[in-house]
Structures are given as C-alpha cells and as structure tokens.
Amino acid sequence: MKFNLFVLPFTIGLVVLFCILIAKYVRWFLNLNPEQRDSVKKNFLTIKTLSGLKEILLESLLHRNISKKNRLLGYMHMSLAFGWFLLIIVGHFESYSYFKTAMEPPYIPIFLRYFQQDALADPLQVVYWFVMDFLLLFVLSGVALAWYKRQNQKRFGMRKTTRHLPADRVALSVLWLIFPLRLLAESITSALYGGGSFLTSGLGSLLENNIATNLSFVASWWAYSISLGLFFICLPFSRYMHIPTEVILIMLRNWGATKYSGKIDGITQFEVHSCSSCGICLDSCQLMELGHSNIQSPYLFRNFRANRLTDQEVQNCLMCGRCETACVVGIKTNSARQAIRHNSSAEVNHDYLRHVDTSFNSSPDVLYFAGCMTHLTPGIKKSMQTIFKAAKINYALADEDRNICCGRPMMLSGLADQAAAMVNKNKELFEKSGARTLVTSCPICYKVFREEYNLDIEVIHHTQYIDRLMKEGKLDLVKSEEHVAYHDPCELGRSSGIYDEPRNIINSLANLNETPANRELALCCGGSIANIILTSHEKKELALSALEKIVPQNTETLVTACPLCKKTFVSTGKSLKIIDIAELVAENLTVGQTSRKFGKFQKVESASI
Amino acid sequence: MNSFGFEIQKDNTIEYDKNDLSLAAFVLKHEPSLYNCIQCGSCSGSCPASAISSYQFRKMQLLMRRGEIKNLREDVAHCLLCGKCILVCPRGVNTRNVIRQIRIALNMN
Ligand code: SF4
Ligand code: SF4
Ligand code: SF4
Ligand code: SF4
C-alpha cells in the first residue's frame, strides 16, 4: 500500500472534521421543527433537489452573488472555492488514470505528486500536470488577493472589513499557508525527481541548487499535510464552518424548510453557521455611523457560535433588515436575531387585558386599527377617517378607546410567547366586529397581523387600501404640482414587500422625486421599536442623517407610510413638511368630498404632542 | 355612593435610610437617561396599560428611586413594551430600557 507517515496529520484532521460535522448536522436536523422536516421529506425526491445543486454550483463554488457586488471580490472567492474544488476533483481523475482504482485512500489524490514521482509513458500525464499547475496558480491568485484585501478592502468595494476572533485568525493563516506549501512541496519534488508543468517545474529549477534536498523534500510534504490537518480541525470552530454549512442551507431552502419558528431551532443553526463573516453587509448598517461597530450580523452570529454573546450585541440593532438585503448568502438576519433574542421564561402579567370590552355597537364592513403609534400621530388617523367618509365606507375604529398593542414590539424584544395575551385579545376584537377587511396605518401592526395572527379576515395596509379605493374610483382627487419624496418604511418595504402601492398613490397626486436610498435600499428612520438601547440623541442623529439622503434637492415634502417614521422624522425639528401618505391623500381630496382642508400638518403634530 | 374615579391615598412614610436604593442605582447606572425625568407623567398618560390597569410608569420609577420596591415586580410585569411612552417623553428618557433594566435586576428576564 502507498503510505508514508506524513499523511497522518491530513488524514486525522479529515476524520476529526467529518466526525464533528456529522455530530453537529445530525443534532441540527433533529432540531428542525416538524413543519420544516415535513417539507424536506416532501421535496427530497423532486426537481427542487436539482435546482438546489445548481444553486450550490453558482453560489458556493462560483460565488455569483458576490461577483454582482464586486467583480474582484467575486473572483477572489471563486478562485479559492472553485479552484480548490477542481484541484480535488482533477486530482482524483489523475490518480485514477495512474492507479486504475477509485478505492485509493483519500490522501492519495491530495499528495499525488509524492506517490507518483516518476514520469509515465502515458501522454495524458503531461496534460494533467499542466492542468494541476494551472489550477494551483488559480487558487494562489485568490490567496494573494485575499491577503491584499486585508490591507486594501476599499479596492474590493468595501469600506469596512470584519475583525476576527483569534480562532478565526489561526484558521485564516493556516488557510493562506496551505497552497504556498503545496507549491513548495511539488516544486521541490519536481527539482529532485522531474515532472510537473510550467509552475512547479519552473519553480523547481530555481530551487534545484540549494533548497531542494532530501530533507526539505520530506519537510515540505509534512508541512503541507500539517497545514491541511490543522485547517480541518479549526474549520468547525471557526468561520470556515460556513463552507460545508452553506451547501446544506441551500438544499434546505430549496426543499422549502425555512419557515422560522421564532426560536433557536435547526434552521437557525444552519443559517447562523452559514455566515462567512465576509463583512459585505457591514457597510449597509446605519449603526456604524454612530460608532456601534460590534453588533452587526457577522459579529452577532460569530459570538453566538462562540457562545460569548453580550446583551448589548443582541439588543442593539434596528432590525431594519438592510444587512439581510445586502447578505450574499441570503441569510435571514432579522429572523435569526429574533430567534437569538427569544426568551420563553421572561415573566409578564397581562391579565388585566381580560377586562377590555371587545363589543361593537355597529356592524362594520371595514375595521380600522390605528395602532399605538398612530394614536400619537392623530393627523394620520383623522385623514383615514376623512378618506373612509369620502369613499362612503361602512367602517369602525377598532382601538379608539381600547388601545391594545399589537404585540410586535414585545416579539421583537424576544418575548414572543408573552405577547399571547395581546394577540388573543385583539383577535377577539377583530372577530367580534364581523368585518371582512382589517385596515392598519402602522406597518408594524400590519406585519404582525398578517404573519402571526392567522386571521380569517383580509389584512391590508392603508397604502394598499387607498390604492384600491382610487382604482375603484371612490376617491375624487386633484393632482398638485408639489414635489415630494417618499420614504419606504422598513416594515412595509423590505419586510412586507409593499413598494408599488404607495408610489401609485403619490404619482397620481404629486411629482415623486426618487433617490437611490429607496425600495430595498431604503434607510431606517432610526426610531425602530426593535432597538431598546439607542439613546434619544442617537436616534435623532440617525434620522437627520437619513433625511439628508432621502430628500433630494428642490423637494418640499417628505411622504412616508408609517406613523413611527413620521414621528421620528418630525421630532428632528428639520424644517421640512413631513406627512403620511394618508394625509397627502386627504389633503388632495376635492372640496366636495371633504369638509376639512388639511394644511400645515407639522403644526397639528407639534400641538398634539 | 357616587364614584368619581378618585380615591383617597393612604398615609405613606418613606424611610430613606432603611429603604433599599441599590436597585434604583443599578437601573440609573444602566439607563442614565432616567436622571432627566421631570415627573411630568406624559408616559403614564399615553400608556395603554395605564388606561386599563393600576400600572403607571411615572409612579413606578418614582417609587423605585425612593426605594419603595415592594410592588415593583408586579408593576413592571404589566408593561406591553409598546414604546408609546418613549415617543411622548419630553426629556428623552429611554423608558423601555428602564423597564428592561428593572426586569434584569429583578431576574424577570
Ligand atoms: S438589521 Fe439593520 S441595524 Fe441590525 S445589524 Fe442589520 S443593518 Fe444593522
Ligand atoms: S451576514 Fe451575509 S453578508 Fe454579512 S458577513 Fe455574514 S455572510 Fe457576509
Ligand atoms: S412601553 Fe410599557 S410603559 Fe410604555 S407606554 Fe407601552 S405599556 Fe406603557
Ligand atoms: S414622560 Fe418622561 S419625563 Fe415625563 S414622567 Fe415619563 S419618563 Fe419622566
């Protein structure tokens, strides 16, 4: 049998790696919730498996998504991943062509140049040598770029790069050593025994006279094997765990097993371990502006994996979802953070909600739920009432004098189970009303009603509702010459995908000036209810900086569709008209349809604070 | 008897020397914005929990700072974390974090 002691570090590393991976993956699989497991079973033997494999090729190996962000960065990741993958695959073919068996121990194709030093009569060998040298050069170019990137991340389209933990740095150094060591070992072999192609035999001839000795020959193969073995052992405890995990995550996604349970379950583990700490999402995080530079998703996930999370890191996040949009792996950063925040043992007592009377003295078709935040921006509520009246809708207010929170703020703080009393009471309210449509003005309520309440009635945000009323011709509106900007609220846009309805409305009422910070790339107003840490001063700073970017020149008005965004922007004191889309609509109703002309909303607002 | 919605407060003596002020110190250390509170009561006025229960943020934090913490646990458990109080507070008190810090201090989280 072909064997030498130096293969041991590699072989042991590989075995240890596989044992750890299997142990972890089995545990996480068992932790998938029943719904997720069912969809794996259902979709396992379908076309979805094939599309998963295709995605693995495109993302895990070719890194298409990263290339879309920056070509150089994409090339760097591709050369390392795809190059190494090809080295292994072609190595296996080469080994097969020499030894005519596929049952060789796994170290043979890896250390092939050691075990097959002599030139063969086979003309194919020269081709293999060339291809393998070429692939090695390909990978080495990636290593060089990765090293260069550590110094000059700006060239790769990134302002910030991730700061790593010691374990990650060890793994990184070992990874960078693997391929130069392989080059050295193969070149020395070529110098002593011949063989190799342009790269290894070229370098070999340079080393021939002094460096290539029997001692350096043995030492270099040992060093190469040790670097591989070390890397394998570091892998499950470092960020490189993302390499095998992302592959599984892609399959799970294709099998449809991604519905979050809100707790740390199997899918959370797969997602959190698929983060490579690449840092591509860092620049999108607005908290960086405030100097909070240790709470972003890669740090959250990394410290979660290392079991060293601090409360600050978990809580200090706007849950704006901007990093989720930026993530090249498609990690559901918001859901993962919410799962990490989940705390089922926290103590609350909401029994008093029992006393809230949920009866109605009318039977409305449409129920309007203003929500806590809209109660604090009464202009929005009044405008909605004007609109309902103008369109002659049989509506009722759900929470006029019995305002119960929708429960989402509590869920965002990790107390999802504890929000049950609110959820049940609100559900009771909705059911008793007998309405078929539930309209909300607050995107926070909208999201939770739609996703967590399992309601039988239609849930709709007021932007969608007004758009519908306009299409049905129920509102008599006039278009003004005003130039307005629109701010996409996080919970309505990125989180719920509602971008077009507000734009339809605005386009028929005013001139909309868009900025690059719109739709998926919209900024957070800073007032997010998901962040319990930021001071009022910091929130204001975020809001002012966002306003700079979302209100273009010669625009007098900023329209938004969330009472919290409005409130946050208004309280910066910036001299700008800031209104909700419902107010814009009420303002532009023809006089025949409204008895009240809306004017200076900022004044109304500040008077009501 | 007619009920006007008012009640007569019981006599109350605050014994600063005996009361335990360590909890207040913990909360103020972790959320110093509470020092800015002017006891205006806007928070309680807007609070959905206060509208239907005896819980009031202003009163709770005032009692806590005086070391009257007998009912603190029960009180703070009422909060819905909705965040209305933050939005109305004229002094920028991070009320929700005050609540969270009380919960942490009382081992309720
Ligand atoms: S969700 Fe927003 S605030 Fe939180 S880490 Fe991502 S980008 Fe930053
Ligand atoms: S969350 Fe995504 S983009 Fe951000 S570091 Fe992790 S893998 Fe990269
Ligand atoms: S967060 Fe708590 S204290 Fe503040 S208004 Fe809401 S329920 Fe009241
Ligand atoms: S609103 Fe603010 S300043 Fe007024 S009592 Fe409440 S916490 Fe204090």
pLDDT value for A209: 82
Asked if A249 contacts A327 with a C-beta cutoff of 8 angstroms, the reply is: no
Mutate to test the interface with A, among B34, B81, B107 (most CBs of A within 10 A): B81
Q: Which atom belonging to ligand 2 lies closest to the Cα atom of A277? A: 5
Given a cut of 80, whether residue A435 has pLDDT beyond it is yes
* Mean pLDDT of all residues in B82-105: 96
ipTM reported for the complex, 2 dp: 0.91
Residue A341: CB atoms within 10 A of its CB come to: 20
In the reported structure, the alpha carbon of residue A58 is separated from the centroid of ligand 2 by a whole-number distance in angstroms of 17
User: Six-digit token pair at A308?
Assistant: 């060293």
Do residue B80 and residue A409 have CB atoms under 8 angstroms apart? yes
Residue of A nearest to B91 (CA): A536
What is the tens place of the pLDDT at every residue in A376-418? Answer: 999 999 999 999 999 999 999 999 888 899 999 999 999 999 9
Q: Is B88 on the interface with A (CB under 8 A)?
A: yes
pLDDT value for A63: 94
What is the tens place of the pLDDT at every residue in A467-477? Answer: 999 999 999 99
CB nearest to A372's CB, from B33, B84, B109: B84
CB nearest to A529's CB, from B33, B79, B83: B83
Do residue A373 and residue B87 have CB atoms under 8 angstroms apart? yes
CA geometry: angle at A163 spanning A157 and A168, to 5°? 115
* Mean pLDDT of all residues in A507-517: 95
Q: Which atom belonging to ligand 4 lies closest to the Cα atom of B58? A: 5
CA distances in angstroms from A489 to A102, A371, A501, A521, listed in the order given = 58, 16, 13, 11
What is the tens place of the pLDDT at every residue in A325-365? Answer: 999 999 999 999 999 999 999 999 999 999 899 999 899 99
For ligand 1, residues with CB inside 6 Å are A 284-285, 287, 296-297, 317-323, 333
Residues of B in contact with A529 (CB under 8 A): 83
Residues of A in contact with B103 (CB under 8 A): 346-347
Given a cut of 60, whether residue A605 has pLDDT beyond it is no
What is the tens place of the pLDDT at every residue in A202-256? Answer: 999 998 888 888 999 999 999 999 999 999 999 999 999 999 999 999 999 999 9
Handedness of CA A384, A465, A424, A413 (dihedral sign): negative
Spatial distance between the Cα atoms of A509 and B29, rounded to a whole number of angstroms: 50
In the reported structure, the alpha carbon of residue A408 is separated from the centroid of ligand 1 by a whole-number distance in angstroms of 18
Q: Which atom belonging to ligand 2 lies closest to the Cα atom of A162? A: 5
Given a cut of 80, whether residue A1 has pLDDT beyond it is no
Given a cut of 50, whether residue A595 has pLDDT beyond it is no
Beta strands in A310-429 (DSSP E): 366-369, 395-397
End-to-end Cα spacing for chain A: 84
DSSP structure string for A62-122: S-HHHHHH-HHHHHHHHHHHHHHHHHHHHHHHHHHHHH--S-S-THHHHTHHHH--S--S-
Residue nearest to atom 4 of ligand 3 (CA): B85
Question: How does residue A163 score in pLDDT terms, banded at 50, 70 and 90?
Answer: confident
CB pairs under 8 A between A and B: 80
Which residues, including other chains, have CB under 8 Å from residue A331's CB and lie 6 or more apart? A271, A272, A274, A275, A297, A301, A324
Residues 44-73 of B with CB under 8 A from A: 46, 48-49, 51-53, 55, 73
Taking the domains of chain B in order of start, what are their residue ranges?
A: 22-105
**3 state SS for A485-534:** EECCCCCCCCCCCCCHHHHHHHHCCCEECCCCCCHHHCCCCCCCCCCCCC
Residues of B in contact with A567 (CB under 8 A): 87
Which residues, including other chains, have CB under 8 Å from residue A372's CB and lie 6 or more apart? A403, A405, A406, A442, B48, B82, B83, B84
Residue of B nearest to A571 (CA): B87
Q: Which atom belonging to ligand 2 lies closest to the Cα atom of A280? A: 3
CB nearest to B88's CB, from A376, A537, A564: A376
Ligand 4 mutation target, pool B36, B39, B96, most atoms within 8 A of CB:
B39
pLDDT value for A140: 97
CA A89 to chain centre: 32
In the reported structure, the alpha carbon of residue A493 is separated from the centroid of ligand 2 by a whole-number distance in angstroms of 21
pLDDT value for A608: 39
Name the minimum distance, in Å, from the CA of A470 to any CA of chain B.
Answer: 32
Architecture of the domain whose range is B22-105:
Orthogonal Bundle (1.10)
A609/B89: higher pLDDT: B89
B93/A598: higher pLDDT: B93
User: Six-digit token pair at A288?
Assistant: 């960086």
- Looking up tokens 């103008």 gives A390
In the reported structure, the alpha carbon of residue B41 is separated from the centroid of ligand 4 by a whole-number distance in angstroms of 5
Given a cut of 60, whether residue A500 has pLDDT beyond it is yes
| Among the bound ligands, the one closest to the CA of A277 | 2
Residue A381: CB atoms within 10 A of its CB come to: 22
Question: How does residue A597 score in pLDDT terms, banded at 50, 70 and 90?
Answer: very low
CA A283 to chain centre: 13
A585/A116: higher pLDDT: A585
Do residue B33 and residue A535 have CB atoms under 8 angstroms apart? yes
CA A438 to chain centre: 30
Out of A155-159, A481-485, B95-99, pick the least confident: A155-159
A36/A369: higher pLDDT: A369
Name the minimum distance, in Å, from the CA of B101 to any CA of chain A.
Answer: 11
Spatial distance between the Cα atoms of A247 and A240, rounded to a whole number of angstroms: 12
In the reported structure, the alpha carbon of residue B48 is separated from the centroid of ligand 3 by a whole-number distance in angstroms of 7
pLDDT value for A423: 96
For ligand 3, residues with CB inside 6 Å are B 46-49, 57, 79-85, 95-96
Q: Write down the mean pLDDT value for chain A.
A: 92
Residues of A in contact with B96 (CB under 8 A): 532
Q: Is B32 on the interface with A (CB under 8 A)?
A: no
Name the minimum distance, in Å, from the CA of B8 to any CA of chain A.
Answer: 22
Q: Which atom belonging to ligand 3 lies closest to the Cα atom of B95? A: 4
Spatial distance between the Cα atoms of B5 and B2, rounded to a whole number of angstroms: 9
Given a cut of 70, whether residue A606 has pLDDT beyond it is no
Taking the domains of chain A in order of start, what are their residue ranges?
A: 56-244, 353-608
Which residues, including other chains, have CB under 8 Å from residue A112's CB and lie 6 or more apart? A91, A94, A95, A98
What is the tens place of the pLDDT at every residue in A71-89? Answer: 999 999 999 999 999 999 9
Q: Which atom belonging to ligand 4 lies closest to the Cα atom of B98? A: 7
CA geometry: angle at A47 spanning A45 and A50, to 5°? 95
Given a cut of 50, whether residue A493 has pLDDT beyond it is yes
Residue A320: CB atoms within 10 A of its CB come to: 28
Spatial distance between the Cα atoms of A287 and A317, rounded to a whole number of angstroms: 8
pLDDT value for B2: 66
In the reported structure, the alpha carbon of residue B58 is separated from the centroid of ligand 3 by a whole-number distance in angstroms of 11
Beta bridge partners of A368: A397, A439
Report pTM. 0.91
CB nearest to B80's CB, from A410, A533, A564: A410
In the reported structure, the alpha carbon of residue A500 is separated from the centroid of ligand 2 by a whole-number distance in angstroms of 28
What is the tens place of the pLDDT at every residue in B1-25? Answer: 566 777 787 887 888 888 889 999 9
